[in-house]
Amino acid sequence: MTHRQAFHIRNKIVVEISFVVILRRVQLLSKSLDQLKEETWFAECGDAFIKHIPLYANIPDEKVST
């Protein structure tokens, strides 16, 4: 095997590995976005905000009235 052939093989392997890494990241992003779409995530987020309401009981200046 010549130096040139080895160089091309190495470059091909690097490109293939890079493609796999990018593909995995896109799959992770896709799953993350799917999770955000789910209604349960919004419900859990709302529950977390509601739990903070009592923290403002003693500091009325920080409470926003509607």
| HSE-CB for 24 with a 13 A CA cutoff | 6
- Contact between 18 and 25 under an 8 Å Cβ cutoff? The reply is no
pTM of the model: 0.45
> pLDDT (tens digit, 9 = 90+) per residue, 53-64?
887 777 777 666
pLDDT in tens, 13-60: 888 889 888 999 999 888 888 877 777 778 888 899 898 888 777 777
Residue 60 and residue 53: Cα distance in Å, rounded?
Answer: 11
Q: Indicate whether 66 pLDDT > 60.
A: no
Q: Report pLDDT for 65.
A: 62
